Structure 1
Amino acid sequence: MRTASGATAVQIAEYCAGRRRIVAHVGSAHTEAELGILLERARDLLEDTAQEVLELGVEPVARAAGLVGRCEGGTLFTTGTGDEPVEMVAAGRVTETSSRLLFEALAGVYDSLGFDTVADTVFRDLVIARIVEPVSLLDTGRVLEDLGQRPASYATMKRTLARCAGGRYRDRIADLCFRNVLTSGDVSLCLYDVTTLYFEAEKEDGLRKVGYSKERRVDPQVVVGLLVDRHGFPLEIGCWEGDKAEKHTIVPIIEQFQARHQIESIVVVADAGMLSAENLAALDAADMRFIVGSRVTKAPIDLESHFRWHAEVFTDVQVIDTVTPKRGTNLDNDTAVRAEPVWDPDTHPGSWRAVWAYSTKRYVRDNRTLNAQEARARDVIDGTKSARTPRFVT
């Protein structure tokens, strides 16, 4: 901008809450050389603010800027690069603002993945709007307008969502995602996790139900599971009732992934909370291998032989390779470890391999935690402390 003294000022500004605010005044330039130095200094200051940037594959281009011309007689001014006068115009005013570059970049990624073969521009707009700002369908039009697009009507958006289910969009896009990973990614390791999405609805229905919420809410919700490759690229998605436990989603998502892409051999690795005894039995029946963390309460059964010969004596980082029964009390909850069998299956037909490792550091930590819990419980019994108020009561 031009200052009162006739210099060209370089400033860093931000657009916040509908207003433009000056963040920093970098300096004033009287020559093209000074202006170039100030612009470079301003760009360095912007980089130092550690602003988060989306990796869209778009390289920023340094904008060329010239000195702001001086008014001549109130009606003419020179360009600053020559003596030719040009007609002076009124001060510039903003007629429209939009994040069109962001939309075009995301649309380019959408097309590069082959999603444009779905041939549904309204669906594409809904996807991009959801990435930029996840809002309700009713508010999606505002997001698209901010991106410089003319949104479809609310009724058309609703019809598009219905068309997604009828047109098997999820299956088609899952095939395209898998094809992309096979071409430029790696499917030797896939990761799976579950989250919950709540709805501001008063009543439950067949899908939206009240259950365990990741956000600690009591609204009706759905459970969403996502399977990705080692770099986080999505491969498979599942949606279940809001009161469905996480451990009941892993087997369906694996079977869905296997059936879609004709995959035969899979090794499932999970913590004890994800793989229940029912899941392990299902995986074993489907001839899938798995590695799952065991609970410490199973140690007395799996390590019975060790305790008999060595009592409770362990050394740090000691590893004990043993077996655990498939049925019985040891499988009532989440259970132990199975990988490639290293024992004779004829000798242990009803067992899985169980590998235990001892850590002195973990033992000290667990012992300290248990002692603190016991002390707190005794204080409650003695009346010196009050018990915690339960959050949920039946």
Structure 2
Amino acid sequence: MQIVYSSRKGARSIEHIGSAHDDAELAALKEVARQRLNAGQLGLDLPGLNGADVGGKGPQALAGAGRVAPITSNRMGVLLETLEAAWKAVGLDGLGGADEVFRQLVTARLIEPTSKQDSLRVLAEAGLTPVSYATVKRHLPRYAAEEFTRGLSRLLAGRARIDRASLVLFDVTTLYFETDKADGFREPGFSKERRLEPQITVGLLTDETGFPLRAEAFEGNKAETATMIPTINDFMNAYNLDDVVVVADAGMIGAANKQALEAAGLSYVLGSRTSRVPHVISSWHDSHPDQDVPDGLTLTQPWPAGASDQRRDETICYRYSADRARRTLHGIDTQVAKAEKAVAGKIPVKRNRFVHLSGATRSINRDLETRARTLAGWKGYVTNLPNPDPETVIGAYHRLYNIEKSFRMSKSDLRARPIYHHLRQSIEAHLTIVTAALAMARWLENTTGWSIRRLITTRRLITTARRYRTITINITGHTLTAAAPLPPDLIQALNNIHHDTK
């Protein structure tokens, strides 16, 4: 396609527009040439001129002589294809009851977490045809049904390849509501965010990488320790497991929870609270007088079950961290200094574990101080696995940071706090949607190496993908698809995604 210019003197100049390989490309090149020729010229606003409609209200009429090709489709093609790949990779296309409404709500939660009603705007801006809000409200109760949530747990466990030897991580968080009224489910309680409003307690079970397996909501005033066993039991019933290796922080494990794990015959790796100096630690100090504990020293202490104990043999691993010792000793020094001032009458006696009160007599509990300094830097890990390797046990416990990361992703990137819901059924349906979105987010992160904050929420795929939209244009009856070229790092991430789904 060329434009040939000639003058009265016979001189000719040629401007090359491009080469076409089919009728659609030829039509596009003709349109480009026509706009080049008409550039700078004013058009007459007459019916039918330059392709305008009879009323003169078409886009061509508004452009005057510079004809405008109508856009027939405008969508976030890159982003939607990526989320579709994640949906299939996680296996959500095989989830019974996961209809188009559920898929749209999960997609919107990843693109721009907002209210269910506003999600329809998000979907429309992305280039999808959203369902009606009435349809959303009608379908929500289905996603809170036990059959649906158990089906999701089974699917996610299958994707994570959970078996009786797998590690599962458990942790708890709280989600507050902007209301002053408690209703038996949303209740004031101990808040992770130090809020006074009514809240719910959420127990999350993940695999060792932080991939979600089950999320369960409890009353806001329910103790954290009372949430673990029901969540684990529901998950195991959903997936028909007889054993898994439960990993949980010491704060989750009261005596009742530990006994329940033992009674259920489950394996575990738990944080151990140490109030007295264990025998192996005191023995090490006795055999190494006046010697600093080496950083990373690990000691193990078997704890065999007695004849009447309803449990397996346990092993407790103790590891010393010089950095932890430094922080702990600094806190002890501060508390002892305050205790000395309180004993001297220089400051009021407040809660201080090193102040011993006997009637009106105040004194420093030096035995407790000595014990605290001896334990500074030591962390205990207890397991009932047979012949455990200390590195494996401690490494399993340290994987708890993955579930903490999943909680952060849920609460910040996916905005899990259900501030627009007040019915328990709707809240539980919302958490089901967040769980599915978190599974897709975790898969995307593991596949691309990009964090979900980089990939979905801001600065990267959402912001980037909104810029790299796929546009369909109609030119003289021919349909053309146009898209801006993608940056190399995004191309590599997309290649990883599509390669992993093959």
Shared fold by TM > 0.5? yes
Output the aligned Cα RMSD: 4.6
* Aligned mates of 1:109, 1:237 — CA distance in 2: 20
How far off its partner does 1:260 sit? 1.9
* Aligned mates of 1:347, 1:360 — CA distance in 2: 39
* Aligned mates of 1:160, 1:203 — CA distance in 2: 27
In structure 1, what residue type is equivalent to 2:346? Answer: D
* Aligned mates of 1:264, 1:116 — CA distance in 2: 23
- The more displaced of 152-161 and 96-105 is 96-105
Q: Please say if 1:182 is aligned against 2:141.
A: no
Secondary structure at 1:213 match in 2 = coil
**Are the structure 2 counterparts of residues 100 and 215 from structure 1 closer, same or farther at C-alpha, using a change threshold of 3 Å?**
farther
- The more displaced of 116-125 and 357-366 is 357-366
**Are the structure 2 counterparts of residues 298 and 272 from structure 1 closer, same or farther at C-alpha, using a change threshold of 3 Å?**
farther
Contact 1:110–1:116, Cα closer than 8 Å, also in 2: no
In structure 1, what residue type is equivalent to 2:190? Answer: Y
What is residue 37 of structure 2 aligned with on the other side? 72
What is residue 123 of structure 1 aligned with on the other side? 102
**Are the structure 2 counterparts of residues 109 and 356 from structure 1 closer, same or farther at C-alpha, using a change threshold of 3 Å?**
closer
**Are the structure 2 counterparts of residues 72 and 176 from structure 1 closer, same or farther at C-alpha, using a change threshold of 3 Å?**
same
Contact 2:225–2:252, Cα closer than 8 Å, also in 1: yes
What is residue 261 of structure 2 aligned with on the other side? 283
Secondary structure at 2:188 match in 1 = coil
How far off its partner does 1:259 sit? 1.7
Q: Please say if 1:297 is aligned against 2:275.
A: yes
- The normalised TM-score by structure 2 is 0.49
Contact 1:201–1:219, Cα closer than 8 Å, also in 2: yes
Secondary structure at 1:296 match in 2 = coil
**Are the structure 2 counterparts of residues 362 and 102 from structure 1 closer, same or farther at C-alpha, using a change threshold of 3 Å?**
closer
Which digits, 9 at most, give the CA deviation of each residue in 1:147-188, with x for residues without a partner? 2233333332122111223472212222222223339x9973
Q: Please say if 1:366 is aligned against 2:328.
A: yes
Secondary structure at 1:273 match in 2 = helix
How far off its partner does 1:120 sit? 1.7
What's the % identity of the aligned pairs? 34
Q: Please say if 1:132 is aligned against 2:111.
A: yes
How far off its partner does 1:282 sit? 0.7
Which digits, 9 at most, give the CA deviation of each residue in 1:119-172, with x for residues without a partner? 521121112112222222232222222222333333321221112234722122
5+ residue gaps, structure 1, are: 1-29, 33-64, 77-86, 325-342, 388-394
Matching residue within 65, 76, 88 for 1:99: 76
What is residue 356 of structure 1 aligned with on the other side? 318
**Are the structure 2 counterparts of residues 97 and 199 from structure 1 closer, same or farther at C-alpha, using a change threshold of 3 Å?**
farther
Contact 1:223–1:244, Cα closer than 8 Å, also in 2: yes
Matches for 1:183-198 after TM superposition, within 5 Å: 188-198=166-176
Matching residue within 110, 113, 117 for 2:87: 110
* Aligned mates of 2:118, 2:16 — CA distance in 1: 48
Contact 2:167–2:245, Cα closer than 8 Å, also in 1: no
How far off its partner does 1:307 sit? 9.2
**Are the structure 2 counterparts of residues 312 and 192 from structure 1 closer, same or farther at C-alpha, using a change threshold of 3 Å?**
farther
* Aligned mates of 1:89, 1:192 — CA distance in 2: 63
Which digits, 9 at most, give the CA deviation of each residue in 1:89-112, with x for residues without a partner? 346798986535423432343245
Secondary structure at 2:272 match in 1 = coil
Secondary structure at 2:241 match in 1 = coil
How far off its partner does 1:296 sit? 3.2
What is residue 152 of structure 2 aligned with on the other side? 173
5+ residue gaps, structure 2, are: 1-14, 18-28, 42-59, 352-502
Matching residue within 185, 197, 200 for 1:219: 197
Matches for 1:140-151 after TM superposition, within 5 Å: 140-151=119-130
**Are the structure 2 counterparts of residues 313 and 256 from structure 1 closer, same or farther at C-alpha, using a change threshold of 3 Å?**
farther
Q: Please say if 1:201 is aligned against 2:179.
A: yes
Matches for 1:79-94 after TM superposition, within 5 Å: 89-90=66-67
Which digits, 9 at most, give the CA deviation of each residue in 1:176-211, with x for residues without a partner? 22223339x997333333332222233122221222
Contact 2:170–2:247, Cα closer than 8 Å, also in 1: no
**Are the structure 2 counterparts of residues 173 and 322 from structure 1 closer, same or farther at C-alpha, using a change threshold of 3 Å?**
closer
Secondary structure at 2:252 match in 1 = coil
In structure 2, what residue type is equivalent to 1:106? Answer: L
- The normalised TM-score by structure 1 is 0.60
Matches for 1:324-363 after TM superposition, within 5 Å: 343=304, 345-346=306-307, 352-359=314-321, 362-363=324-325
